[in-house]
Amino acid sequence: MKTKMTEAIEKQINLAIEQMLNSKNIYIVSHVQPDGDNLGSILSLGQALKSKNLDVFMLKSDEIPNDFMFLPGIEYMMDYDGLGYVDVLIVLDSGDENRIGKNKEILGKANLVINIDHHISNTYFGDINIVDKDASSTGELVFEIIKSMGIEISKEIGTCLYTAISSDTGSFMYDNTSARTHEIAAELLKSNIDKSYININLYQNRSLERTKLFITALNSLELYYNDKVAIVAITQELLEKSNATMEDTEGIVSFLREISPVEVAIILKEFHGENIKVSMRSKKYVDVAKISSYFSGGGHVRAAGFTVNSTVGKIKASLLEQLKDYI
Amino acid sequence: MKTKMTEAIEKQINLAIEQMLNSKNIYIVSHVQPDGDNLGSILSLGQALKSKNLDVFMLKSDEIPNDFMFLPGIEYMMDYDGLGYVDVLIVLDSGDENRIGKNKEILGKANLVINIDHHISNTYFGDINIVDKDASSTGELVFEIIKSMGIEISKEIGTCLYTAISSDTGSFMYDNTSARTHEIAAELLKSNIDKSYININLYQNRSLERTKLFITALNSLELYYNDKVAIVAITQELLEKSNATMEDTEGIVSFLREISPVEVAIILKEFHGENIKVSMRSKKYVDVAKISSYFSGGGHVRAAGFTVNSTVGKIKASLLEQLKDYI
């Protein structure tokens, strides 16, 4: 159980702080398909550095999902103009360089790259690497950095950090939540944030379209192997019926895993042209990363996925065949 | 934002500890329809007192829901034999004497009644009253008592306390969660509990019947007033179709409130003989306790309910009429 940072990480943090404080300008870049931890981390660090009168630019590598438009400072997120001189580049919540998509080119331009992340798969691609696989979220590491800089947690910064940590821990429910995570949450709540407002935005903000898709999709829920495997397929037809997009499938696979006998929950997303994206979650003992690797995919023991060119019917049959030995 | 207990409550805690340590025996009683906070509080306090070699009896006032059979020590929960001498009676998580149902008679037999609760409506019916409306849960108060007694938080006690607090805060999401709540959670995680096991039992343990009822019920979701009011009715027919019971309706009304435009979520439960139980949840501004009081019910600003003799159709119409001025 993580209760504090290691000395090695603390040293990297101090090094990063020194470089940031002496920089000409700082760019902070998002990853593709940015989530709550990514955006919350960028906006809290960005606004904290701005409060030190540093020149900070926050770059998006992809569209910002509507779910996070409530974050204070979200209006800072902009596209890189392709020309700006980049002194320090900070990459947050990204296991490797490819995660920042189109902005990967900036890595070569930057005088110094700071890589802040909590993924076990991180490739240490930065000049300074603040990587802690035991941190619940990148937000947790950003909190430590901001505290180490002696910057007060404003309402704006606190809101972004709470969002980052709550998103990545499923509101303190996932295994990655540590005693330290709760200690940080306690400090954030003392910083006068409006927790109710944040939680309504994060967890009580499901659009009607998403709700409709959720209900429609669940009507076609299939169970296999004594109800240990639950599968739902999201076809283009289903999306049209609910006036929803693939982004709206969020939450479905978790709901499947919450069913008592279910050990493996699977969602099949049918994109155009026989392109199927598969996401798997397991509960207690099946290593879905192994199943995923069979299909040339990747992931974690409890959450993994892959993409194939196939049909829903075919991939379902292959998956069930593979699962036979694990379930 | 609550960060620590008041002196007055600390004084009551010390008084209670003195009495418990000098007691001949201690009975701890549940309330009717016991929930995670109630059972987690009883079992953590009961097992903590047992570790001090006190004679402790834990009484149920109702059936124990299957959801909580995983709690360590649940086998201690027993019926009162009607005869036993009661020195100290501890009532947990109960706003008034009627909450303990059939065990209310024991109140008169006890030499001393200790009332430990966090409901604002508490009637202070005990000889000693440890009542703190700012505590997230009764479990939070029990934690303070156990710590004040210098008892180490064992894995069993920690599991019960974490369950109590997590249940009553919706995994640290509800408004009642304070900085202190997170500080306690941090301490509990340090006590070597298996958080993953607890969370699977609390949140990934939805029976197939409950899942089926959930899906079937949502298919009949109705929206009114520009989607600001969501209503689902659970009829006996629906229960039969899913092979479920009324207990299995848990989670439906929260799901309704999570829909973005919804301000008031309502579930109508049709029991036999035109007996309808109505539960309402609001998100931001509607005081559902007011609506409820019109139907002689009670509750809180964001969660209230009542029971009527009527039909689903009639009560739905009356409710919509009442809501007109609030929405």
Residue A215 is nearest to which of B185, B206, B219, comparing CB atoms?
Answer: B219
Closest chain B residue to the Cα of A255, Cα to Cα: B204
* Cβ neighbours of B3 in A, within 8 Å: 190
Average pLDDT over residues A192-221: 95
The confidence score (pLDDT) of residue A274 equals: 82
Sign of CA dihedral A135, A75, A127, A104: positive
Answer yes or no: do B183 and A186 touch at CB < 8 A. Answer: yes
Q: Which of A66, A214, A223, A259 to mutate to test the interface with B (most CBs of B within 10 A)?
A: A259
Answer yes or no: do B186 and A187 touch at CB < 8 A. Answer: no
Answer yes or no: do A196 and B207 touch at CB < 8 A. Answer: no
Q: How confident is the model at residue B96 (pLDDT cuts 50, 70, 90)?
A: very high
Q: How many CB atoms sit inside 10 A of residue A169's CB?
A: 24
* Cβ neighbours of A281 in B, within 8 Å: none
Closest chain B residue to the Cα of A218, Cα to Cα: B215
Answer yes or no: do A257 and B204 touch at CB < 8 A. Answer: yes
The confidence score (pLDDT) of residue B299 equals: 79
Q: What percentage of residues in chain A have a pLDDT greater than 90?
A: 91
Which of A2-6, A271-275, B88-92 has maximum average pLDDT? Answer: B88-92
Answer yes or no: do A208 and B190 touch at CB < 8 A. Answer: no
Nearest CA to CA, how far is A191 from chain B (Å)? Answer: 10
Question: Which residues does A297 contact at the CB level (< 8 Å), separation at least 6?
Answer: A278, A304, A305, A306, A307
Nearest CA to CA, how far is B283 from chain A (Å)? Answer: 8
Residue A227 is nearest to which of B196, B208, B260, comparing CB atoms?
Answer: B208
Domain ranges of chain A: 7-203, 210-323
Q: How far apart are the first and last CA of chain B?
A: 29
A-B contacts at Cβ under 8 angstroms:
111
Q: How confident is the model at residue B308 (pLDDT cuts 50, 70, 90)?
A: very high
Strands A128-131 and A112-117: parallel
Question: Which residues does B184 contact at the CB level (< 8 Å), separation at least 6?
Answer: B140, B143, B161, B165
Which tens digit of pLDDT belongs to each residue from A163-179? 999 999 999 999 899 99
Q: Given a cut of 80, is residue A3 above it in pLDDT?
A: no
Answer yes or no: do A179 and B187 touch at CB < 8 A. Answer: yes
Tokens of B252: 């439906």
Q: Given a cut of 60, is residue A251 above it in pLDDT?
A: yes
Q: How far apart are CA A170 and CA B266, in angstroms?
A: 25
Sign of CA dihedral A139, A141, A142, A143: positive
Closest chain A residue to the Cα of B264, Cα to Cα: A204
Q: How confident is the model at residue A273 (pLDDT cuts 50, 70, 90)?
A: confident
The string of DSSP codes covering A188-201 is HHHTT--HHHHHHH
The confidence score (pLDDT) of residue B94 equals: 95
Within 13 Å, how many C-alpha atoms sit on residue A269's CB side?
A: 19
Residue A172 is nearest to which of B171, B183, B283, comparing CB atoms?
Answer: B171
Exposed / middle / buried, residue B147 (Cβ in 10 Å: 0-12, 13-18, 19+): middle
The confidence score (pLDDT) of residue B58 equals: 98
Domain B208-323 fold:
Diaminopimelate Epimerase; Chain A, domain 1 (3.10.310)
Q: How many CB atoms sit inside 10 A of residue A108's CB?
A: 10
Residue B190 is nearest to which of A179, A189, A203, comparing CB atoms?
Answer: A179
Closest chain A residue to the Cα of B220, Cα to Cα: A215
Answer yes or no: do A195 and B180 touch at CB < 8 A. Answer: no
* Cβ neighbours of B171 in A, within 8 Å: 170-173
Which tens digit of pLDDT belongs to each residue from A92-110? 999 999 999 999 999 999 9
Average pLDDT over residues A242-255: 93
Tokens of B45: 């306090």
Q: How confident is the model at residue A5 (pLDDT cuts 50, 70, 90)?
A: confident
Q: Which of B163, B166, B168, B173 to mutate to test the interface with A (most CBs of A within 10 A)?
A: B173
Q: Quick one: DSSP state of residue A119?
A: -
Domain A7-203 fold:
inorganic pyrophosphatase (n-terminal core) (3.90.1640)
Average pLDDT over residues A204-229: 96
The confidence score (pLDDT) of residue A2 equals: 54
Nearest CA to CA, how far is B257 from chain A (Å)? Answer: 7
Q: Given a cut of 50, is residue A185 above it in pLDDT?
A: yes
- Average pLDDT of chain B, as a whole number: 95
Alpha helices in chain B (DSSP H): 7-21, 36-50, 106-109, 138-148, 155-169, 179-190, 195-203, 208-218, 236-242, 252-257, 288-294, 312-323
> In Å, what is the CA distance from B288 to each residue of A25, B246, B299?
52, 22, 8
The confidence score (pLDDT) of residue B164 equals: 98
Q: Given a cut of 70, is residue A230 above it in pLDDT?
A: yes
Coil/strand/helix, residue B89? strand
Q: How far apart are CA A172 and CA A137, in angstroms?
A: 11
Q: How far is CA A321 from the centre of its chain?
A: 30
Closest chain B residue to the Cα of A201, Cα to Cα: B260
- Report the predicted TM-score, pTM, of the whole model to 2 decimal places: 0.92
Q: Which of A4, A189, A192, A286 to mutate to test the interface with B (most CBs of B within 10 A)?
A: A189
The confidence score (pLDDT) of residue B1 equals: 47
* Cβ neighbours of A206 in B, within 8 Å: 258-260
Average pLDDT over residues A292-309: 90
Which tens digit of pLDDT belongs to each residue from B139-169? 999 999 999 999 999 999 999 999 999 999 9
Q: How confident is the model at residue A1 (pLDDT cuts 50, 70, 90)?
A: very low
The confidence score (pLDDT) of residue B2 equals: 54
CATH says A210-323 is which class? alpha beta
Closest chain B residue to the Cα of A210, Cα to Cα: B259
Answer yes or no: do A260 and B208 touch at CB < 8 A. Answer: yes
Q: What percentage of residues in chain A have a pLDDT greater than 70?
A: 99
Residue B185 is nearest to which of A182, A196, A208, comparing CB atoms?
Answer: A182
Within 13 Å, how many C-alpha atoms sit on residue A26's CB side?
A: 27
Q: How far apart are CA B104 and CA A250, in angstroms?
A: 47
Which tens digit of pLDDT belongs to each residue from B223-281? 999 999 999 999 999 999 999 999 899 899 999 999 999 999 999 999 987 899 999 99
Q: Given a cut of 70, is residue B3 above it in pLDDT?
A: no
* Cβ neighbours of B182 in A, within 8 Å: 182-183, 185-186, 189
